[in-house]
Amino acid sequence: MPNIYELSQELPQLEKFEQIVSGKNIQIERIISTGQTTTAGQWYDQDLDEWVILLQGEVELACDDDTSIKLKAGDYLLIPAHTKHRVEYTSVEPPCIWLAVHGQF
């Protein structure tokens, strides 16, 4: 039985995306981050809404309206489609475990 908190012995060098469920109008994935951030000057601009919950670790996101959002374990956030955002910080110890739900909400 899979466990959302289970990590392999070796943590990934790159951010790891694991698809859990995918359907016609929804995708659920687990993301493991270990210090990765968005490339300088790059913004995510997604066609679908994204609801994320941070299960472990700490994260800082930036939006193109100059706002900053800090998340710690248990915090969740809805990012509406086409909201330009980027990852400024992800903790290494502990590694970040995200659960992301993509769809039209």
> What domain range includes position 65?
16-103
Residue 31 lies in a domain: yes
97 lies in some domain: yes
Question: How far is it, in rounded angstroms, from Cα 92 to Cα 46?
Answer: 26
Task: Kindly report, residue by residue over 62-100, the tens digit of the pLDDT.
Answer: 999 999 999 999 999 999 999 999 999 999 999 999 999
In a domain, 1, yes or no: no
- The CATH number for 92's domain is 2.60.120.10
The answer to whether residue 25 is domain-embedded is yes
Work out how many domains the chain is built from and give that number. Answer: 1
- Asked if the model's pLDDT at residue 22 lies above 90, the reply is yes
Residue 12 has pLDDT above 70, yes or no: no
Task: Please state, in angstroms and rounded to a whole number, the distance separating the CA atoms of residues 49 and 43.
Answer: 15
